[in-house]
Structures are given as structure tokens and as C-alpha cells.
Structure 1
Amino acid sequence: MNQEFLKACRKEKNAFVPVWYMRQAGRSQPEYRKIKEKYSLFEITHQPELCAQVTKLPVDQHGVDAAILYKDIMSPIPAMGLDVEIKSGIGPVIDQPVRTREDVERLGKINPEQDVPYVLDTIKILRTQLDVPLITFGGAPFTLASYMIEGGPSRDYHNTKAMMYSDPETWFMLMDKLGDMTVTYAKAQIAAGAQAFQIFDSWVGALNAADYRKYIRPVMHRIFSELREEGVPLILYGTGARHLIMEWNDLPIDVIGLDWRISPREARQMGVTKALQGNLDPSILLAPWEVIEQRAKEILDEGMEEPGFIFNVGKGIFPQVDIAVLKKLTSFIHDYSSKKLG
């Protein structure tokens, strides 16, 4: 098996810089779009053989060094008692948002083997098919809470922050329930065969550092502390969170995912000691190849200054990206970095 991704997570010496792309499974792939004409996201994830096919497709097409399980961060939320619909062009939508203490108290616990057996079955299938490590993931409590409280995507998170500031007791009850769910869900995925676990805290950059320390850090520290004993690399990623990088560096994690707003060199100059993952702006993938190559070189040169670097995009791949460009980029990353590291 290609172990370069796992080596980088552990800050070991690499033969080349490993690469995978967030949202590499889906969106930009014609084969995926054809499947989506027939099935919704949740319907795909409920069919393990089909979900495994979608997950494995970019590994075969692009030659990336890790697979990431195809699913959504909201996949476990229905098990807690909330109806979630993934609406095209919008994202997760919840018709009855969580707004009161009573709403939080009604949220149930997840039993992965009963509630999401299809996720675990997909992982087991993939472990028999892949020759690269399998990453699985979950949403962080703040990001999940933002969808649950707002009822869908938000620009300002007013309702979420209102609960946090005006009713901290209810807020921390929600964080505890989501923390428990995340740990239980992650442990089940790891037991099924996941070889790394990434938590997406996509929207936590909306908070300042002081509020993060008070309202978010306790649950994040507990989640990662409980998952450490599972023995797989733990990755944390969020967008617009440059001001939280050092908060993350103090968590018991292995890898920090960077968006395009902070470079690997800048992160290390700030004092980050974890392995790093990132951080090409995915919009650059629509530029001429010469531009893509130059940006990739810059990121690689900075990333390779210290052991422990994984090339990725700073946000997910979007539908307009040409899969031929991703294949060419992956080959370039491997070739360029192997010569530098050799």
C-alpha cells in the first residue's frame, strides 16, 4: 500500500509529497454527475457498493495518495432526530431548527451500527479495494450546530451566536451532545477500517479567538483527546480561520488543514508544529497550466521546508474543474517533489 500520506501525517520522511483533494469524489467527475441524475447524495451513501465506487473513482482517475469517504457532514444528524435535506445549490436544510433548550434536550444519541450501517459497510468494502489509505470524516460541533440552529447555510450565524452568547447553558449542552455523537461516530468508522479521520469545522472562522477558546475549544479538546487512543492520524480543517491556527496547534491533533489565506511557511513562522495540509486556492485550477504549476511549486517549496506536508486544495473541488487538470497536477506534484526530496 502507498503509505506516503500516513507518513506525512506522522511527520516522517517522504519519498514525495502526497496529495489528495477535498471533494475529490464527486462534483467535477462526469461519471459522478451521471450517477447523481438518478440518485441523491443520501441515496448514494445508503448503497455501499455505489458509494465505494464514487469514493474510489478519483483514486483511479487522478492517482491521488488517499481516498476520502463520499458522504456529507450531516449524514449522522437524522439519527439524532432531525430531518435534513441536501438541496442542490443550497446545501443542508433543516425545516425545524434547534432554537430552545427543549429542542436540544430532544436530540438523541447515535448508534452507528444501527443508524448508519451503510457508512460502516462502505468503509469495509473500500478497505478491500484501495491501495491508498482511506480517510473518513465528521463535522465539528460548531459547524454542525450552525446548520441545526440556522436551519441551513448562513452568512452571519446570528441565531447560532445568539444562543452561544445569551444561553450558554443550552449552548454547552448542545456542544456536549454533538461532541458525544462525533466521538461515537468516529470510533465506529475507525473500527470499520478508516485509517485517518478529518474533522471539518468549515464555519468556525466566524468566531474570534477569545470566543473560540471559551465556547468551542473545550469540546474540540475532548473529542480529539478521546480519539487519540484509536491510533489513527487526526486532521482539523476550517476556512477563514487563520486567527485560530495557534488554538488548533494546542489541540491533540496530528495535521492542520490550511485554506489559501495562510501559506505553509507563514503557519510555521507563527509557531505551528503540526503536520500541514493545503492549500491551493481551487479557483486557480481554472487558470492556464503555467499559473497552476507556478502556484503549486510555491506551495511545495514552502511545504517541503520541514517534514510533514500534504498537498491539497484550500477548499473543496467544484464542478467546473477539469479532471484532466487534476490528473496533470497530481503527476506534477509527485514528480517535482520526488526530485526535491530525493
Structure 2
Amino acid sequence: MERTLQNDLLIRAALSQPTERPPVWMMRQAGRFMPQYWEIKNKYSFLEMCKTPEIAADVTMLPVDLLDVDAAILFSDILVTAEAMGGDLSFEQGVGPRFSNPVRSAADAAVLRVDCLDKLEYVADAIRVIQDRLNGRVPLIGFAGAPFTILSYLVEGGSSKDFKRTKLLLNNEPELAHTILQKIADVTVSYLNMQIDAGVNAIQLFDSWALALSWNDYRDFSHAYNKYILSNIKRSVPVISFCKGSSVFAPLMAEAAPDVISVDWNADLKNIKHILPDGIAVQGNLDPFVLYADKPVIREKILQLFERMRGEAGFIFNLGHGIMPDIPFDNVKYAIEVVKEFKY
């Protein structure tokens, strides 16, 4: 059911249309810095939360109700696609995601399923529940993990500081890497199209570990597949492309023709905007660590960014990466109030 959005700031900014002020949402906004999140998390495992549409909707709604952000983002995880393909996924407290069956050989890659959308139907169900709850209040952002980032988790068997196994695969067995990446890309196209059909208003592709790559490796093993995804999904909603490393890779990212590039905090946002083709918006790029600071500092840093971006069409305020779990909730709330007071 198509609902008219009461607040369409995010959509307008994503399409480089004029807005009264920058829209605001924050990566990981429905998460561990909220006491209300822990009230839910203490009752269920992380995967139970993701796979139970009503609970996923409860968590998705928390920042909308408590922070009054300009967009909701689906509560899920980038690794659900890898699990659907056959990864044995678990989340360990203090360790993070683990795959007990890492993908390190042609035989491992051969058993990865591409026809696995049925295993992700709970995500479409959650989207429908969330949209009923939102009832047009703000847009809902869906998302997926980009193929290189998903590959790194599958190959390493979890998180990694140096991506040694992944880089060995890229260097020693590039054909095998491309085989796995293509499978992930095909699943991601189907998965994002399912989210679009279920009713999300925008999508974001997360390439969280792209910064581990050299320019040439990013081009061949990441960008090529992100471009494939953006060329094959239904472009009926705005698409945001995020990678840690966008301050370096933005010119290549633009070649995939996203509507928005989400920029990390290492770059001057206006400079990035000006090297991008007309019509590509930018998102970002406050250093999340600013949110630990005193409130006058938070205000000053946000307004500094806004003055820098004044007069630029196509700007969504966000962090350069996700909120850390121990950032004070009150500081996040204050930051959003500062954004909402601003007028161009």
C-alpha cells in the first residue's frame, strides 16, 4: 500500500531537491546506546530479534519515537544474506558475528546457495509491519551488505583486524573470489528488490570494510559488484552507497550511479560534493566520537558542517560511521535537536 509521507525531507535531499534543513538519521540509530534497546535485547538473541517481524519493528521504531529522526532504518543485519546462502551464523557477546563454516575453497563456494530468498522472507514481513506502524510518518530505509564486506566475513569466519585470509584469496585465487562475489551480488539484487517490493522508501548498500582494499582491488573486487547491484535493482526508490573509505573511493563509487554517497569523516564533505557528478547527493559526515563531547562542542561541530554545506543541494546529515554503544543517549538526542533547529 502506497502511503503519502508526512516527512519526505530525506527523499527530497537524496534526490538533490531543495530542503528547508538537512534531514537527519544516524547509522546504528536503533541500537545499543539506548536503554530501551537493552530492555528488548535482554529477552531475545540478536538473530531472534532480526527474524521476528514484530520485535524488529519494535526496535526500528525506537529512534523514531524517542529521537524524532527524519527516517527509520530497518532493524536487521548485513549478514542475513550470508546466512541464507548457507553460512552457519551466530553472534557471541563481546566477540561479534561468527561463521562456523568459513568459505575458503572452491568446494566451500560451490555449496553457497543463490536461490535462497525464501529464507529472507522474515525481512519483507518486518518491512510491512514497520510501514504499518510508521503510517507515512517518515521514510523507511532498507539495506544490504555489499559483496566484498560479506565475502570478508565468510572467508575470515567473523570479524577481522587485518583481513589477511580475504586478501590472500584476492591475491592467490582471484577467480574463486570473483565466483563467490558474483553469488553474493546475485543474492543481494534479489534481496534488495524484495525489500523494495515490500515497501521500503530508500535503500543503503553498506560496504563496511572497503577501506581494507587498495584502489585497484577496490575497483575489481568491490566496486564492480556494487555497480552490478545498482544496475540490476529496481531504481524506484533512492539508493545510498556507503563505504568506509568513501573519502578515497567516492569518484569510483559515483560510477555506479547511486543517488547518494555516504561519506566517512576523513574528508571535507563540500570538496567531495564538488568532485561528484551533478545530481549525486552526499550523506554524512560527523565523526561519531564528537557525540561523546560536551554539548556546546557537539553543537559547534554540527553547525560548522552545516555552514560548510550551506547552499549545496543534496545533503543528508549523518555520522561518518555508526553510533558507538557507550555514547550517551542524551547527547544523541541533543545532536538531533541541533539539526532540527537549523534553517537554511
Quote the Cα distance in structure 2 between the aligned partners of 1:180 and 1:171: 14
Does 2:270 match 1:265? yes
1:86 matched residue in structure 2: 91
Which of 58, 68, 77 matches 2:73? 68
Per-residue deviation, residues 127-153 of structure 1 (Å, max 9, x unmatched): 112110000111000000000001111
User: How far apart in 2 are the matches of 1:110 and 1:16?
Assistant: 43
Gaps of 5+ in 2: 1-5
Task: Determine the C-alpha separation between the residues in 2 that align with 1:115 and 1:30.
Answer: 31
Per the TM alignment, residue 76 of structure 1 is displaced from its structure 2 partner at its CA by 2.1
Show the 5 A alignment for 1:280-291.
Answer: 280-291=286-297
Aligned residue for 1:129?
133
1:27 deviates by 0.7
| Alignment counterpart, residue 144 of structure 1, candidates 150, 154, 166 | 150
Task: Determine if the alignment matches structure 1 residue 8 to structure 2 residue 3.
Answer: no
For the residue of structure 1 that corresponds to 2:80, the secondary structure is coil
Of 42-51 and 261-270, the range deviating more from structure 2: 261-270
Aligned counterparts of 1:329 and 1:215: Cα–Cα separation in 2: 37
1:176 aligns with: 182
- Kept in 1: contact 2:22–2:317 (CA 8 A): yes
- Which amino acid letter does the alignment assign opposite residue 225 of structure 2? V
Question: 3-state DSSP class of the match of 1:116?
Answer: helix
Provide, for residues 288-328 of structure 1, a one-character-per-residue CA deviation record: whole Å limited to 9, x for no partner.
11111111011112233311000011111122222222222
Q: Structure 1: how far apart are the matches of 2:115 and 2:33?
A: 32
* Separation of aligned partners in 2, 1:180 and 1:300: 38
CA distance in 2 between partners of 1:119 and 1:269 (Å):
37
State the shift of 1:272 in Å.
5.4
The CA deviation at 1:270 is 3.6
1:250 lines up with 2:255 in the alignment:
yes
Counterpart selection for 2:23 from 18, 28, 37: 18
Q: Distance in 2 between matches of 1:160 and 1:237?
A: 20
Once the two structures are superposed, residues 199-229 of structure 1 have per-residue CA deviations (whole angstroms, 9 ceiling, x without a partner) of: 11010111111222223222111100112x3
Query: In the alignment, residue 287 of structure 1 is paired with which amino acid?
Result: A
Q: 2:148, 2:221 within 8 Å by CA — same for their partners in 1?
A: no
Matches within 5 A, 1:173-322: 173-227=179-233, 229-271=234-276, 273=278, 274-322=280-328
Structure 2 counterpart of 1:166: 172
Tell me if the contact between 1:137 and 1:197 (Cα under 8 Å) persists in the aligned partners.
yes
- SS at 1:198 equivalent: strand
Deviations along 1:3-38, one digit per CA (max 9) or x if unpaired, are 000000000000221000100001111111121111
- Give SS of 2:143's match: strand
**Superimposed CA distance per residue, residues 241-263 of structure 1 (whole angstroms, 9 cap, x where no aligned partner):** 42211111111211001111112
d(CA) in 2 for partners of 1:320, 1:214: 37
Q: Partner residue of 2:42?
A: 37
Of the structure 1 ranges 239-248 and 15-24, higher mean CA displacement relative to structure 2 is found in 239-248
Contact 1:62 1:323 in 2 (8 A): no
| Aligned residues of 1:245 and 1:272 also touching (Cα < 8 A) | no
1:117 Cα deviation (Å)? 2.0
Verify the 8 A CA contact 1:275 1:309 in the aligned structure 2.
Answer: yes
Greater than 6 Å deviation, 4+ residue runs: none
SS in structure 1 at match of 2:316: strand
> Which of 119, 122, 125 is equivalent to 1:118?
122
Q: Partners of 1:101 and 1:41 in 2: how far apart?
A: 31
Question: Equivalent residue of 2:285, what SS?
Answer: strand
